[in-house]
Amino acid sequence: MKILTFIVDIDNTHGGPSRSVPMLVKGLAEVGVDITLMTFRSDDMNTHALDGTSAKLKIYEQGTSIKEIESFILDEKFDLIQMQSMWAPIYHKVAKIARKYNIPYIVTPRGMLEPWSLSQSKWKKKLAMWLYQMNDLKKASCIFTTAEMEAQHVRDLGVNVPMSVIPNGIETDGYACRSSMDSVKKQILFLSRVHVKKGIEILIDAFKKVREESVEFQDWSVVVVGNGEPEYINSLKLKVESLGMQGCVKILPPVFGDAKTKLYQESSLFCLPSYSENFGMVIAEAMSCGVPAITTNGTPWQLLNGDCSTMGASLDILGENKKTGWCIDLSVDNLAKVLKNAMSMSAEDLYEMGQRGSKLVNENFNYRPVAEKTKALYEWIINGGEKPSFVQ
């Protein structure tokens, strides 16, 4: 079984897929799949996940002709192609190549078909959908989604091909769970791509509301960490300055590796108040480190509330108390209420909640079981047989 997975770039500055796709490829190589990752060169490529694995890496220069890519695909005789995003014309061209040579292909939307995302550049996407994107979706062997919510959103568009629900996986060993609260700061961490979709302004306004209403929280801070467009980052800094919150809200550049893990571990809470996420890798990373997470119903993390299971995860391992964080409808008032609640908890209660979250992530979102599921999906598409339970 020879597989090609294709993503336009794996640049560290471009958010979750630059981590989740190499991690999936690493896992697939480790479970015995002959896997090649094809991408285009960028300034800060995340290739280290593939070090020491059997995975092959095919890097093209920007502007490479589609004929050269077609020759590579034909020469390598791939059994299946997985495209790790959509919209960009190059994905359509690769889909056409797959159909030309009767190679089954998978489309992975990576959140691009979520309602919020479709509302951005709306008319351009409507045109692309009419010209080529809907045809590429409907002729795919499978649509690869990371949560039931994303799968339903794709179905709502009228796409009726098989749909897998397989969450992203993380290397949980790289995000060790903290063993105490001794070095933890009264700090709310936002760590993600700095983008309007992430709801950072809501977080700042909610934190301001909590501080104004309660003098007991004056020693807390918010730390915003990540890459983004300079104009948007500057607008956030101006907002913080205009609110007089420079002393308690910091906006910092991205961190990686051990420094990133340390930042998770020393934060009391993690908050990703996004309008839309198809998964939210950073939530799993924070939870793995033992940090209670706060997010929104624009993500698939309703299981944080402890009263339901999503993304195929099992809560049974958590015992009687299954709450590992908060998943809410996004608004300043709702977030302020949850922040006040979380910031009022004792260090011991936050620690215990974080330990439950770490256990949940280690059991359900480790990259190796995710790779095993993906391998089973590939085998079913290529060879047929009984449909896997995670395929709708």
What CATH number has the domain bearing residue 36?
A: 3.40.50.2000
Residue 296 lies in a domain: yes
200 shares its domain with 152: no
Q: Residue 231: what pLDDT?
A: 97
Please check whether residue 391 lies inside any domain of the structure.
no
Check whether residue 217 and residue 347 sit in a common domain.
Answer: yes
Average pLDDT, the chain: 95
Is 92 in a helix, a strand, or coil?
Answer: helix
Full-model pTM = 0.92
Domain-located, residue 35: yes
Contact 184, 354 (CB under 8 A): no
Task: Work out the percent of the chain whose per-residue pLDDT is above 90.
Answer: 88
pLDDT score recorded for residue 303: 94
221 with 278, same domain? yes
Closest CA to 391 of 112, 140, 35: 140
pLDDT computed for residue 106 by the predictor: 99
Same domain for 250 and 316, yes or no, is yes
Domain membership of residue 96 (yes or no) is: yes
Co-location of 210 and 354 in the same domain:
yes
DSSP secondary structure code for residue 390 in this structure: T
> Please, are residues 192 and 272 in contact by the beta-carbon 8 Å criterion?
yes
Q: Is position 388 within any domain?
A: no
* Whether 134 and 21 share a structural domain: yes
Of 149-163, 245-259, 298-312, the range with the lowest mean pLDDT is 298-312
Q: Residue 366 pLDDT more than 90?
A: yes
pLDDT exceeds 80 at position 309 = no
* Antiparallel, parallel or unpaired: β 2-6 and 56-60: unpaired
Residue 112's pLDDT is: 94
Based on the domain organization, do 229 and 338 belong to the same domain? Answer: yes
Burial class (CB in 10 A: 0-12, 13-18, 19+), 1: middle
Under DSSP, the state recorded for 283 is: H
Percent of the chain with pLDDT over 70: 100
**Does residue 105 lie in a domain region?**
yes
Same domain assignment for residues 350 and 236: yes
CA separation for the pair 154, 166 (Å, rounded): 15
Q: How many domains does the chain have?
A: 2
Domain interval for residue 23: 2-169+367-383
Task: Note whether 162 and 392 are within 8 A (CB).
Answer: yes
Q: Considering the domain boundaries, does residue 42 fall inside one?
A: yes
Q: Tell me the torsion sign for CA atoms 365, 368, 372, 374.
A: positive
Query: 275: burial class by Cβ within 10 Å (0-12, 13-18, 19+)?
Result: buried
Confidence of residue 174 (pLDDT cuts 50, 70, 90): confident
* pLDDT value for 46: 84
Distance of CA 83 to CAs 21, 104, 114, 294, 302, Å? 10, 11, 17, 31, 28
Q: Are residues 213 and 116 in the same domain?
A: no
Does 216 share its domain with 279?
Answer: yes
Alpha carbon distance 298, 147 (integer Å): 12
In a domain, 328, yes or no: yes
Residues 165 and 309 in one domain: no
pLDDT at residue 14 in the model = 74
